[in-house]
Amino acid sequence: MQAITLLTLVILAGFLFKKEKSPYARLIIGSVFGIAFFSVWPFVVYYIDINNPSETALSVSYAFILVLSLLLSFLLVKIRTYKLTVAIISLSCFLIIIIASQSYENTIKNKIAIHTGYYSKTNPIKHNFNHSESKNKRFQYIYKDYSISLDNNWSKQTDKGPMFDYFQFKANGEYAAELRPKCTNKNRPALPVIIKSINNYIQIKNMKADTVCYQKDETVYACVIKSIDSDNQIKRIRWINLDTLSNTGTELDFILNNNQVYLLTEIERVINSVTIKAGNQDMNCLALTEWL
């Protein structure tokens, strides 16, 4: 649909500038509109979608880019000398920008989110784990390129296969929660795209999504997503981060059987214990949907 729309706009612009009689008009116009609507426009849509979804904002942005493309096309077609050079430069810019925007799409989207306030909320994770008690009351679990500190009440489970290690938390002999550690590599979608997908999934399950995204430190950004049922009970907590240095991510997925203070405190301690190590960016990580 996008290609058909672009082709229509290029043809209309070609007729509009027909009197200029440039033999390279269609090439120049096509390159300008290609950059605008295949490279720039998708990121504009993404920016609006993660910040303030609005049909009005989309319409205004589309009109602005259209007018800007027409104006730039008109100015380039009007150049009387070096017409072939202008056409070659326009086409070259189109190819370079298209390839770059496709190759670095996720990186660009993450940068847009970082620099437009997507992670501007306050860190909601308050409870740190106590380093002094880690030797006798906690143990370390290393998964891919990160490690976490877990209370001794967490017990490792392997019944779902070698790639699906998970933990169960039992207090007074009763099952209280489950932890599913996951990771993502550099090929994953931008973090806001993942968050939106999870929020949509939560809504499909007729639950409320409580999402807070924040900056954890200079290079790490994170989101906490809580699934809350109709009784206002938290049924699931996901913590997902983005390490901009390694372009890898961590996900801790907690399934809750109760909302006792001790359990919510332990979950925050586990999250705050995450230590990211320098790992292999191409490591084999589970897709976020595999545990849904």
DSSP 101-136: HHHTHHHHHHHHHHHTTTTBSPP---PPP-GGGHHH
Q: Token pair of 236, please?
A: 């699931």
Structure tokens at 135: 């030797």
Residue 226 lies in a domain: yes
Q: What is the pLDDT of residue 165?
A: 82
| Residue 74 structural domain | 2-103
Residue 257 sits in the same domain as residue 183:
yes
Residue ranges with strand state E in 120-248: 138-143, 146-151, 154-157, 166-171, 174-184, 208-215, 220-228, 234-243
- If asked whether residues 91 and 142 sit together in one domain, one would say no
Whether 110 is covered by a domain: the verdict is: no
CB atoms within 10 A of CB 111: 14
Same domain, 87 and 185: no
Percent of the chain with pLDDT over 90: 41
Please, which pLDDT band fits residue 1 given cuts at 50, 70 and 90? Answer: very low
Q: Which of 10-24, 44-58, 121-135, 190-204 has the highest mean pLDDT?
A: 190-204
Q: Is residue 279 in some structural domain? A: yes
Using pLDDT thresholds of 50, 70 and 90, give the confidence band for residue 84: confident
Residue 108 lies in a domain: no
Indicate if 139 and 277 belong to the same structural domain.
Answer: yes
> What pLDDT does residue 288 have?
47
CA distance 219 to 114: 10
pLDDT value at position 162?
A: 62
Which of the listed residues 103, 119, 143 is the one where a domain comes to its end? Answer: 103
157 lies in the same domain as 264: yes
Diameter over CA atoms, the chain: 84
Q: Kindly state whether residues 221 and 158 are assigned to the same domain.
A: yes
Mean pLDDT of 184-195: 82
By the 8 A CB rule, do 94 and 34 touch? yes
Residue 232: other Cβ atoms inside 10 A: 8
CA dist 91 and 74 (Å) reads 16
pLDDT score recorded for residue 182? 85
Domain count, the chain: 2
Instruction: From residue 196, give the alpha-carbon distance in Å to each of 126, 203, 219, 233.
Output: 24, 11, 22, 21
Together in a domain, 92 and 153? no
Query: Phi and psi (nearest 5°) for 240?
Result: -125, 135
Regarding predicted confidence, which is higher, 94 or 282? 94
- pLDDT, position 89: 93
What is the pLDDT at residue 159? Answer: 74
Q: Within this chain, do residues 144 and 285 fall inside the same structural domain, yes or no?
A: yes
Per mean pLDDT, which of 80-89, 129-138, 228-237 is the most reliable?
228-237
Asked if 125 and 271 count as a contact pair (C-beta separation under 8 A), the reply is yes
Determine if the pTM surpasses 0.85.
no
Question: Which of 83, 103, 123 marks a domain boundary?
Answer: 103
Residue 269 inside a domain? The answer is: yes
Report for 68-77, 88-97, 241-250: range of highest mean pLDDT? 88-97
Residue 30 lies in a domain: yes
Are residues 158 and 28 part of one domain? no
| Amino acid at position 168, single letter | Q
Q: What is the pLDDT of residue 286?
A: 54
Taking alpha carbons only, the member of 89, 98, 111, 87 closest to residue 38 is 98
Query: Looking at residue 37, what DSSP letter applies?
Result: I
Rounded CA separation 100/7 (Å): 22
Residues 143 and 197 in one domain: yes
Taking phi over 0 as left and psi of -120 to 50 as alpha, with beta for the rest, 241 belongs to beta
Whether residue 83 is found in the same domain as residue 155: no
Instruction: Establish if 159 belongs to a structural domain.
Output: yes
Q: For the chain, what is the mean pLDDT?
A: 83
> What integer pLDDT is reported at residue 289 of this predicted model?
46
Helices (H), the chain: 2-16, 25-34, 41-51, 55-78, 83-103, 105-115, 134-137, 191-204, 261-272
Q: What is the CATH number of the domain that holds 271?
A: 3.40.1000.10
Whether residues 41 and 160 fall in one domain: no
Look at residue 91 and tell me if it is in a domain: yes
236: helix, strand or coil: strand
Q: Which residues contact 292 (CB under 8 A, 6 or more apart)?
A: 201
pLDDT digits (tens, 9 = 90+) for 15-47: 555 555 566 788 888 889 889 989 999 999 999
